[in-house]
Amino acid sequence: MRSGSDARPVFAALGGVVEIGALTHAGTWRPADASVGDFLALRRDEVTRVVAGIQAVGRFGGSVMAEAHELGYLRDHPVDVRSLLLWSAGVTWVPQGWQPSEDLSYLEEPQVVRRMCRMGADLQLTHLLDGLVAAGVAAGVEAGVGVPDTTDEIASILRIACELVDGAGRNTPEGVFRMWRVAHLPGLLDPNAAAPEWVKAGHRAYDEELERLLTPM
């Protein structure tokens, strides 16, 4: 049975995808109009498929999946600008100096919310892919399973996640893969990086297989 530590980053990123998807689906760019519960009910089949895929990729046991569920990302909860700020890495935040109760009302403006959603979608999809690859590398080493056995599953999860976060096609699996490769691999694969060689080898293998599956010839 695998530790839940490898599952948390994956489910956190999926939580961002779901929140942003709910707000995008509302169509008004107003957090108060978004309902995570309604969105989850509407897209239940896709979310269930993604969760099952995550479990398969990471070979997570029932207790790990229960722990991930307790994080609350896949239950109804309010969407507010603070969570959107988190999902988008705070790019739109304009610090106003130290204040006990900082005024964040400007983040409620629809054009700012839309920017946070789009940046958050890019970032959380990339984090989702990175977490899946890391979980797949660790699980493959433990179980003696090769990379091709789980690459198809990761690609399928990514395709569904892109549809969940924005059904208009702005995010694509190929685009997410390309962002992930340039954002995460150079530091990890640097000869001076502290990552063990088996981790580097696993990421190289996933990079090659995902490129084959997700990018045109």
pLDDT tens digits, one per residue of 17-55: 999 999 999 999 999 999 999 999 999 999 999 999 999
Separation between Cα atoms, residue 121 and residue 179, nearest integer Å: 12
The count of structural domains within the chain is 1
As given in the structure block, the two tokens for residue 128 are: 């989702």
What average pLDDT does the chain have? 91
Separation between Cα atoms, residue 14 and residue 23, nearest integer Å: 14
Enumerate residues 6+ apart whose C-beta is below 8 A from 105: none
- pTM, 2 dp: 0.92
Q: Look at residue 56 and tell me whether its pLDDT is greater than 60.
A: yes
In a domain? residue 95: no
Q: Look at residue 143 and tell me whether its pLDDT is greater than 60.
A: no
- Say if CB 81 and CB 107 are below 8 A apart: yes
In a domain? residue 166: yes
pLDDT of residue 100: 56
- Residues 103-109 have a mean pLDDT of 88
In a domain? residue 192: yes
As given in the structure block, the two tokens for residue 13 are: 């990123």
In a domain? residue 97: no
pLDDT tier at 211 (50, 70, 90 boundaries)?
Answer: very high
In a domain? residue 98: no
The crossing angle, in degrees rounded to 10, of helices 62-70 and 8-26 is: 50
Q: Round to the nearest angstrom and report the end-to-end CA distance of the chain.
A: 38
In a domain? residue 102: no
Enumerate residues 6+ apart whose C-beta is below 8 A from 183: 126
What domain range includes position 141? 4-90+107-214
In a domain? residue 202: yes
In a domain? residue 100: no
